Amino acid sequence: MSFTKILIANRGEIACRIIRTVQALGYEAVALFSDADEDAPHVALADLAVRIGPADVGESYLHIDRVLAAAHKTGADAVHPGYGFLSENADFASRVEAAGLTWIGPQPEAIEIMGNKAAAKRAVADSGVPLVPGYAGSEQDDTTFVAAAAEIGYPVMVKAAAGGGGRGMRLVQTAAGLVAGLASARSESLKAFGSDELLLEKAIVNPRHIEFQIFGDQHGNVIHLGERDCSIQRRHQKVVEEAPSPAVSAELRQKMGAAAVAAAQAVNYVGAGTVEFLLDETGDFYFIEMNTRLQVEHPVTELITGLDLVEWQLLVADGQPLPLTQNEVTLTGHAIEVRLYAESPENDFLPSTGTVWLYKAPSGSGIRVDDGLRSGQSITPFYDAMVAKIITSGATRAIAMRRLRRALLQTTVLGVETNRGFLLETVNHLRLCM
Amino acid sequence: VTSGEHSFEIVVLSCRNHCLHFELDGVRDVAYFAFGLDNELWLQFGLETDSVVDVLLAEVDSADSAGSGKIIAPMPGSVLRVDVAVGDSVTKGQSLLVLEAMKMEHTISAPFDGVIDYDRWCSWGMG
């Protein structure tokens, strides 16, 4: 269905990034903002902006009725959810479609299945996608888990079936720690996701986190746009993301890419998605989950493919076929992204709030910055502490890494603490390992 | 600038738009700065980012009681005016003297109640 005015149901850097492509393609952009965000950059960038409620996310960015009312009020005829917030909420996707608007995302059924890690595994199991040996059954009593863990072999990972972002996840080394691990994962999962359904997986030792960007259209085509290596994490949160992965050969890329496409086809996937795998030291890989949205780290894929993934999302939502076939996709050079957070590494990475008195983004050859920050802006405690993504690229990994180091030295945020120094040390460490 | 046992000569080349261009030991470099609320100065140089509070302009904290008893000038500057003499009783918050530094006048106030018993600073105009 054709559309002309797109409501971006998000805030921060991703709202700004989506608005830019929306406007570049001639669509009008409608922004939403809470009381805490009226001076935020995404509000100033958009053609129209609607105040939807108080700072609390439940009263604003997560309030489905208010988001839909904002679309109605402004005459928006399509909704782009960004990432986080309502992006993987199947109920929201259904409500958008029921209101006669175009949903710029996958079908609600695919969101629903992939949103539950256990259901996702059941869905892709028949498609030849390798799974981590584990237990994802409906029997949820401790006795069943203890027996299953003994069969799988320790160490095991306990995970929330509805989970994401590392919450509700426990590494259990021996049988003695399992019951306690189950109890704490259950309570954390219930609090974070409203469900205490758990699953077990064999813990893969020293794995790499390799994810494939996939795209499906409404005509049954599904292709992949190569992988991203997100192995550098802190407490299960990604810190450094790069493409291509230094650990993936052309041959392995073809194998993993085919598995990623098969996983997407298992749910007739439409739009942008990410299939996540663990890659072990022997080259074996296992499906972990699929994210049914645009990822935070999508820019590294854009930089090595030369494509605009938001543009592709809009094309697909408009009913057009994918612009390229699998053989036409080329990967050139190397790209690396780091996430700049308003947080204090010296204080256990606690979020840092206050006014940013000075913000200077780095610039230059091979440097891209996706930010939602400007000097004078308040960083409030209500939302994610990520303020910018710094992405560099070059013909080789060494060039991209060197550019990233200099870009971080050029990045200035004064007024709140950030993880800039921590990122610089991480990049210096990675350069030594090359 | 003196820091511990080390002394450096820093030549400020320009200081505008939050950029401080300077020369240190023959090397030209740049640092970034911004002022926050409550006399807070934010600085970034290379890897390091830090904030410092200019205590010269800080208000007296009413919860403060007598500390070590010593009052040391928080930064180098010229004494413009002395408001008390040895033997005077002062109350917390009362002006002791006025310093001039970086072309700004700063009133140094008593951090606690007490009696002025040692006079090493009150020669007018001392740097």
Q: Does B44 touch chain A (CB under 8 A)?
A: yes
ipTM: 0.77
> How buried is residue A274: exposed, middle or buried, by Cβ count under 10 Å (0-12/13-18/19+)?
buried
Chain B hits for A410, Cβ within 8 Å = none
- Nearest 5°: phi and psi at A391? -125, 130
Most distant CA pair in chain B, distance: 50
DSSP 8-state assignment for residue A177? G
Of A355, A414, A425, nearest to B44 by CB-CB distance is A414
The answer to whether the Cβ–Cβ distance between B32 and A421 falls below 8 Å is: no
- Tens of pLDDT, residue by residue over B7-39, are 888 999 999 999 999 999 899 999 999 999 888
- Tens of pLDDT, residue by residue over A396-421, are 999 999 999 999 999 999 999 999 99
Chain A hits for B51, Cβ within 8 Å = 414
Mean pLDDT computed over A210-218:
98
Mean pLDDT computed over B77-92:
80
Of B2-6, B58-62, B116-120, the least confident: B58-62
Q: Does A364 touch chain B (CB under 8 A)?
A: no
Contacts of A100 (CB under 8 A, 6+ apart): none
The answer to whether the Cβ–Cβ distance between A414 and B48 falls below 8 Å is: no
Chain A hits for B41, Cβ within 8 Å = none
pLDDT for residue A175 is more than 50: yes
- Tens of pLDDT, residue by residue over A137-170, are 899 999 999 999 999 999 999 999 887 767 889 9
The whole-number pLDDT of residue B126 equals 37
SS3 A414: strand
The answer to whether the Cβ–Cβ distance between B35 and A357 falls below 8 Å is: yes
Of B42, B47, B48, nearest to A357 by CB-CB distance is B42
pLDDT for residue B124 is more than 50: no
Mean pLDDT computed over B50-56:
80
The answer to whether the Cβ–Cβ distance between A421 and B48 falls below 8 Å is: yes
- Write down the pTM of the prediction: 0.81
Q: Does A98 touch chain B (CB under 8 A)?
A: no
Mean pLDDT of all residues belonging to chain A? 95
Mean pLDDT computed over B55-79:
58
Residue A20 falls in which region: left (phi positive, over 0), alpha (psi -120 to 50) or beta: alpha
Report yes or no: A207 and A218 within 8 Å, Cβ to Cβ: no
> How buried is residue A263: exposed, middle or buried, by Cβ count under 10 Å (0-12/13-18/19+)?
buried
pLDDT category at B69 given cuts 50, 70, 90 is low
Chain B hits for A418, Cβ within 8 Å = 49
Mutation target to probe the A interface, by most A beta carbons within 10 A, among B47, B50, B52, B53 is B47
The answer to whether the Cβ–Cβ distance between A418 and B49 falls below 8 Å is: yes
Residue of B nearest to A425 (CA): B47
Report yes or no: A308 and A19 within 8 Å, Cβ to Cβ: no
Of B32, B42, B47, nearest to A421 by CB-CB distance is B47
Distance CA B20, CA A60 (A): 41
For the record, the structure tokens of B118 come out as 């040692």
For the record, the structure tokens of A152 come out as 């799988």
Buried b (16+ CB within 10 A) or exposed e, A180-215: ebbeebbebbeeebeebbbbbbbbbeebbbbbbbbb
Distance CA A326, CA A324 (A): 7
Report yes or no: A34 and A54 within 8 Å, Cβ to Cβ: yes
The DSSP bridge partners found for residue A160 are A198
Buried b (16+ CB within 10 A) or exposed e, A33-49: bbebbeebbbbebbebb
Mutation target to probe the A interface, by most A beta carbons within 10 A, among B39, B51, B52 is B51
Report yes or no: A70 and A53 within 8 Å, Cβ to Cβ: no
Contacts of A60 (CB under 8 A, 6+ apart): A32, A33, A34, A35, A52, A53, A54, A66
The answer to whether the Cβ–Cβ distance between B32 and A414 falls below 8 Å is: yes
pLDDT for residue A213 is more than 80: yes
pLDDT for residue A342 is more than 70: yes
